[in-house]
Chains A and B, each alone.
Chain A
């Protein structure tokens, strides 16, 4: 059975069910309790579970991340909410140098099961320090899983998987997605990491897209279908571990590949995805892999401006047309 719900409510449902299932799970972050999160993604949970499981934390990202590390190594299962991904810079030492190292340094004796939940991207006119796409930094860190759900169902399934995983997981939500709706399976719906999802089947061009860009890619595919170009939209769902097989299988079929990210291209995961396709599909590629990525700029304030510096369906459609023309 499924229910129609928003991405925001899917996050809330997954959090609630996991806290019910395991009292060692707790939520810690700025205004996760009284406010119930900026978007309402934890509304009502403080009332239901009390302050032992829903902890409003001072504006101290290093403290919340450090607290998560310390409590996780002692058997608790923290969900740390970093209100905006831009604030994660303050928590980086605890995440990178501790959470992602101590399992290995203890030769497997210690586990650090932490979910770092945060949200990035444009969509609220929050300008350059509240709108970034910073996932690329984290994909390069051994010992960390990086997930980016694009739909309500993926949000629920990936968050549940993250809570149950014994490793540190960074789950990056998107502020433009919270009020999108979709069908979400009831109950224990868990999506394994490293399994991509084909969001739309097609035969001419593979569009690999992440997070909010999946929606842009689907809109582009719809436009292109009217022009006689059939696009397959593939959402990796986890940037690492990466489902190379599904990505490559799609490109083996289409021979053309477009990688779409909101983050700037340089030094980023989009290049990693392109390299995976080049390594796996060389000889079957009809054209070089192309990328459609955010501009290398701070995100501006204006409503039209913030949309103008990140990919949209028209950018993607134009790149796909070019792949067909070349």
Chain B
């Protein structure tokens, strides 16, 4: 990877982190609701995976979608506006933090855990028929790997050799329950063997490791060999949702320990070691923050949808 690519990954992670922090502040002001699920800590996964995708690949995300959407290409202002429930959001403010669609960026998400796994198989069925080499990518969590939809969808994608890159973000908790208590066999990647697939466990706190694994996975998928399964071992620095009672299920020490593996300072140290000037990184961070301030200000000025707007399109032609 050349230095410009390394910098691009760094910039994207800085953007996702700052965006998340600003959303949490908006949540504390009750401008964004509890349905906001912070992504801080997991940025290397979204950024590293998306760097290995083509712009017209199709993404299925989940209830923690904002990082995935930004990494896929959604504009920060359109995601701010969506989370704020305003027009100008990707779903014109009617979806909110957990369920929105950005069709021009081929982005879908939903808040029912595990549901994206079979939907991604269906998307891939259509992409395979289309024959233009596009693939589906599906993000789900450790918790989703226990659902029936996960099993049914993985099996279908595998028997029909559908082009899906499955990304399991193992952030160590399903809501408040530790993964060690709800998954019997570790690592989760070994579940891939049950579908005749290779499962690979990746350090999800290292953006370059994620990128390399995703490149490999995307190549396998694009070559027509069927789905690939990557488990990204990561951690969410914040609660399950904005303002959850974190102390009931994990210690401050544990969070601190994972924060020492924060993917952003890690990539920053790499860039500095490569001789990138600290001033350049500082300037990049300031520029990202400035742009996000402007995006947030724009989003806060957008109107809320009217009842008529919010209830349009229940059916085609209605």
On whether the beta carbons of A107 and B156 are closer than 8 Å, the reply is no
Complexed CA–CA distance, A107 and B89 (Å): 11
A105's partner among B100, B112, B127 (CB-CB below 8 A) is B100
The interface residues of chain B lying within 8 Å CB-to-CB of A101 are 99, 110
The interface residues of chain A lying within 8 Å CB-to-CB of B133 are none
Report if B62 contacts A (CB, 8 A): no
Complexed CA–CA distance, A145 and B122 (Å): 22
On whether the beta carbons of B312 and A69 are closer than 8 Å, the reply is no
Contacts between chains A and B (CB distance < 8 A), count: 135
On whether the beta carbons of A65 and B58 are closer than 8 Å, the reply is no
Complexed CA–CA distance, A102 and B314 (Å): 9
Complexed CA–CA distance, A103 and B122 (Å): 17
On whether the beta carbons of A73 and B316 are closer than 8 Å, the reply is no
On whether the beta carbons of A105 and B149 are closer than 8 Å, the reply is no
Complexed CA–CA distance, A102 and B102 (Å): 11
The interface residues of chain B lying within 8 Å CB-to-CB of A90 are 148
Complexed CA–CA distance, A269 and B152 (Å): 32
Residue tally, chain B, CB below 8 Å to A? 42
Chain A interface size range? 35 or more
On whether the beta carbons of B155 and A103 are closer than 8 Å, the reply is no
Query: Contacts A70-B126, A76-B125, A90-B148 known; A60 to B155 CB distance under 8 Å?
Result: yes
On whether the beta carbons of B91 and A63 are closer than 8 Å, the reply is no
On whether the beta carbons of A66 and B101 are closer than 8 Å, the reply is no
The interface residues of chain A lying within 8 Å CB-to-CB of B275 are none
The interface residues of chain A lying within 8 Å CB-to-CB of B94 are 104-105, 107
Report if B123 contacts A (CB, 8 A): yes
Query: Contacts A71-B123, A97-B110 known; A65 to B118 CB distance under 8 Å?
Result: yes
On whether the beta carbons of A66 and B118 are closer than 8 Å, the reply is yes
Interface centre among A65, A66, A74, A101 (most CB of B within 10 A): A66
On whether the beta carbons of B121 and A70 are closer than 8 Å, the reply is yes
On whether the beta carbons of A107 and B92 are closer than 8 Å, the reply is yes
Q: List 11 A-B contacts (CB under 8 A).
A: A63-B153, A68-B122, A71-B122, A71-B125, A74-B123, A74-B126, A97-B112, A103-B314, A103-B316, A104-B313, A110-B101
Chain A residues proximal to chain B, CB less than 8 Å: 52, 57-58, 60-76, 78, 90, 93-94, 97-98, 101-111, 142-143, 145, 165-167
